[in-house]
Amino acid sequence: MVDQTAVGREFTSVTARVEPGRLRFFLDTLGEANPVYRDETAARAAGFSAAPVPPTYLFCLEMMDATVPFEFLTALDIDLGRVLHGEQRFDYRAPVVVGDVLTFKPRVTGVTDKKGGAMTLIVIETEVTNHAGVHVADLSRTVVVRNARPS
């Protein structure tokens, strides 16, 4: 069972490049047709230096380029079969565009037991910086762990 000792725990940083082909695949999967995400001319007309990424793309990019995509599960001894997605938040501080090389630095910022210990909520926050050292986003996800009932 995950407890307060997990708070502050950091996981392996992930470095990922925002590539146009992978972004296009993501957009196609979502059915996203907004030209600002697909066409550099439209992106520049909207004030971007290149095509920007849609809000949820950073979560996928971090997972796709991680050496161990669910490292926190192993590190915190959590059984994937007991995990539910709780919530997710994206706070952008600067645009993220095609060509950026991003570094994701995840860490546990909260652990809360609920329902008399039947579940544990784990908050993992990730700071994202670009190749110029600009802090471009903060990601937050809450993972719900259904705990085993005592026999």
Burial of 57 (0-12, 13-18, 19+ CB in 10 A): buried
Domains of the chain listed by start with CATH number: 4-146 (3.10.129.10)
Query: In terms of DSSP H, where are the helices of 39-127?
Result: 40-45, 57-65, 71-75
Confidence (pLDDT) at 61: 93
Phi, psi angle pair for 143, to nearest 5°: -105, 130
Confidence (pLDDT) at 151: 53
Confidence (pLDDT) at 10: 96
Confidence (pLDDT) at 70: 85
Residues in Cβ contact with 115 at an 8 Å cutoff, skipping those fewer than 6 apart: none
Residues in the chain: 151
Confidence (pLDDT) at 12: 95
How far apart CA 119 and CA 57 sit, in angstroms, is: 28
Q: Splitting the chain (151 residues) into consecutive groups of 10 residues, what average pLDDT does each group show? A: 91 96 96 95 97 94 90 91 94 97 97 92 97 98 87 53
Confidence (pLDDT) at 111: 96
Residue pair 121/3 in contact (Cβ under 8 Å)? The answer is no
Confidence (pLDDT) at 90: 96
Confidence (pLDDT) at 49: 96
Of 123, 126, 139, nearest in space to 89 by CA: 139
Confidence (pLDDT) at 85: 92
